[in-house]
């Protein structure tokens, strides 16, 4: 529940003061016994609480989703199974599920959500096998309000594929580089662009890949500046951080655009004054017979 929306509802007599007081009591968090739901998180951090679905019982998961929805918030769940999706759909028919990223999402107004997206995050993968993790990152960023461009299968084994997309990648405010095997993609991209790069090691690879440890160590030891690394297969963490960076960048662009217009107007006025200053002496000289 948005506090400002709640206060406006009271102001407009849409809900009573007593009802609003009851809602406010539950805003910091609500204790369901099996879970303590953080309804205050959006107010504190700008992002709502996200549900990690794996390992939760059907009843617990349904209870959490229903409660968040009843409080007027969109809901994002990660690492969900198809069975969990069908259970949540029983109580929230509008819920959407992507089996590739394993993301569950509930939007109250999806069209408005899409219209309000800003900036740009580029999500790149080394190979096609990395796409499930990349989609978790991309869909997380989209859920929280970022435009996302997907650039998949541009690994260093065929670096010409990556180089052909560099200009497109450079337009983004932040880049997520998802790769398994030796995990070189993040460092290479960081050496080509002037934007923050978030590297995501994946568990894709053979034997000595150690289920992503080799990619993780490569990314952590990269000599390229501007590269940060999240945990193995943690697409969600990368998408979340990328959105925070993108929000700052997009907000700065808006502020700069807002400041430039007055500057341009001031420049026009300054130019007019300069022309007047040049014309007036000329007129005086002309009257004196100098021209």
* pLDDT for position 50: 83
Residues forming a β-bridge with 101: none
Paired sense of beta strands 174-179 and 227-229, if any: unpaired
Q: What are phi and psi of 284, to 5 degrees?
A: -65, -40
Model confidence at 75, pLDDT cuts 50, 70, 90, reads confident
Question: What is the tens place of the pLDDT at every residue in 94-116?
Answer: 999 999 999 999 887 777 777 77
- Are 137 and 239 contacting, i.e. CB atoms less than 8 angstroms apart? yes
In three-state secondary structure terms, 219 is: helix
Share above pLDDT 70 across residues of the chain, in percent, rounded to a whole number: 76
Q: Which helix (H) or strand (E) segment is 139 a member of? A: helix 131-143
Q: Name the CATH code of domain 117-247 (choices 3.20.20.150, 3.40.720.10, 1.10.3210.10, 3.40.50.1970).
A: 3.40.50.1970
Residues of each domain in the chain carrying CATH 3.40.50.1970: 117-247
Mean pLDDT on 152-164? 94
Q: How far apart are CA 120 and CA 174, in angstroms?
A: 7
What is the pLDDT at residue 2?
A: 64
CB 190 within 8 Å of CB 225: yes
The pLDDT value given to residue 275: 39
Residue 183 and residue 124 in contact, taking contact as beta carbons nearer than 8 Å:
no
Q: Is the pLDDT of residue 1 over 60?
A: no
Residue 57 CA to residue 138 CA, distance in Å, equals 27
Q: Which residues, including other chains, have CB under 8 Å from residue 97's CB and lie 6 or more apart?
A: 80, 82, 85, 89, 103, 104, 105
In this prediction, residue 277 has a pLDDT band, given cuts at 50, 70 and 90, of: very low
DSSP helix/strand/coil, 121: strand
Output 41 or 142, whichever has higher pLDDT: 142
Least reliable range by pLDDT among 2-11, 146-155, 183-192: 2-11
């Amino acid at each position: 529940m948005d506090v400002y929306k709640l206060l406006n509802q009271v102001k407009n007599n849409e809900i009573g003061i007593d009802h609003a007081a009851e809602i406010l009591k539950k805003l910091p968090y609500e204790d369901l016994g099996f879970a303590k739901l953080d309804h205050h998180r959006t107010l504190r951090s700008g992002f709502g609480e996200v549900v990690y679905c794996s390992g939760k019982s059907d009843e617990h998961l349904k209870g959490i989703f229903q409660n968040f929805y009843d409080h007027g918030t969109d809901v994002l769940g990660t690492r969900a199974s198809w069975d969990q999706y069908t259970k949540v759909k029983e109580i929230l028919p509008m819920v959407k599920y992507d089996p590739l990223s394993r993301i569950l999402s509930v939007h109250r107004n999806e069209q408005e959500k899409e219209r309000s997206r800003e900036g740009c995050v580029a999500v790149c993968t080394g190979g096609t096998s990395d796409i499930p993790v990349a989609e978790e990152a991309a869909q997380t960023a989209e859920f929280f309000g970022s435009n996302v461009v997907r650039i998949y299968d541009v690994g260093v084994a065929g670096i010409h594929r990556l180089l052909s997309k560099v200009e497109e990648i450079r337009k983004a405010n932040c880049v997520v580089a998802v790769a398994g095997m030796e995990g070189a993609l993040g460092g290479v991209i960081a050496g080509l662009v002037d934007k923050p790069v978030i590297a995501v090691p994946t568990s894709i690879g053979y034997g000595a890949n150690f289920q992503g440890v080799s990619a993780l160590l490569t990314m952590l030891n990269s000599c390229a500046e501007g590269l940060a690394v999240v945990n193995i297969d943690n697409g969600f963490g990368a998408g979340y951080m990328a959105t925070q960076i993108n929000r700052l960048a997009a907000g700065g662009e808006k502020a700069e655009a807002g400041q430039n217009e007055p500057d341009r107007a001031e420049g026009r006025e300054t130019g007019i004054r300069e022309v007047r200053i040049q014309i007036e002496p000329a007129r005086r000289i002309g009257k004196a017979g100098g021209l």
